[in-house]
Amino acid sequence: MKEEYISDVRGIQVVEIAGVYQMTTKKEHSDYLKRLVETSNTQGLSQAALETLAIIAYKQPITRAEIDEIRGVKTERPIHTLVTKVLIKEVGRAEGSGRAYLYGTTKEFLDYFGLNSIDELPPLADNSDDSFESGEADLFF
């Protein structure tokens, strides 16, 4: 396998480090890979995006109209941001007229917040069953 990956058509190689074999990228690709890492989107989430993400995480699957109703403002932009960052995704369609998209969290959401499953989210306060309070976004800090 090590000899097979030496060829010029491969971007990776097999190397032995400390008695362990690892697959690594070849040195000649390092400049390209550095540019990819340096241009990554490291910008954090806005307060609106965090609030929207918290609502989706706790109420999923949920439609945009339901999120708008809970937040009291339109959430089109925060939802777009969260979809772009792959923290949420469309998980289906609601029944009834219009068949609105249903949103839910992704595996990347779990990875980002260090969770094994959605069940590991901290419990909500008892008095916030039907309403979203701005303090709930702090659960993700």
| pLDDT at 75 (0 to 100) | 94
pLDDT of residue 129: 46
4-38 and 47-140 share one CATH topology?
yes
The pTM of this model reads 0.62
What is the DSSP secondary-structure string of the chain? -TTGGGSTT-SEEEEEETTEEEEEE-GGGHHHHHHHHHTS------HHHHHHHHHHHHH-SEEHHHHHHHHSS--HHHHHHHHHTTSEEEEEE-SSTT-PEEEEE-HHHHHHHT-SSGGGSPPPPGGGSS---GGGGGGG-
CA distances to 32, 33, 85, 124 from 104, rounded to whole Å, are: 34, 32, 13, 18
Model pLDDT, residue 139: 56
> Would you tell me which CATH number, out of the four given (1.20.120.550, 3.40.50.300, 1.10.10.10, 1.10.3720.10), belongs to the domain 4-38?
1.10.10.10
| Domain extents in the chain | 4-38, 47-140
Please name the residues in contact with 53: beta carbons below 8 A apart, sequence gap of 6 or more. 45, 78, 82, 87, 88, 105, 109, 140
Q: Are 101 and 63 in contact (CB under 8 A)?
A: yes
Q: What is the pLDDT of residues 67-78, one digit of tens each?
A: 999 999 999 999
Q: Any idea which of 29-33, 36-40, 48-52, 135-139 has the lowest mean pLDDT? A: 135-139
Residue type at 76? E
* CATH class of the region 47-140: mainly alpha
Least reliable range by pLDDT among 8-12, 79-83, 121-125, 130-134: 130-134
pLDDT in tens, 88-136: 999 999 998 889 999 999 998 998 888 888 999 999 887 644 545 555 5
When pLDDT is averaged across residues 42-60 and rounded to a whole number, the result is 91
What's the pLDDT score for residue 127?
Answer: 61
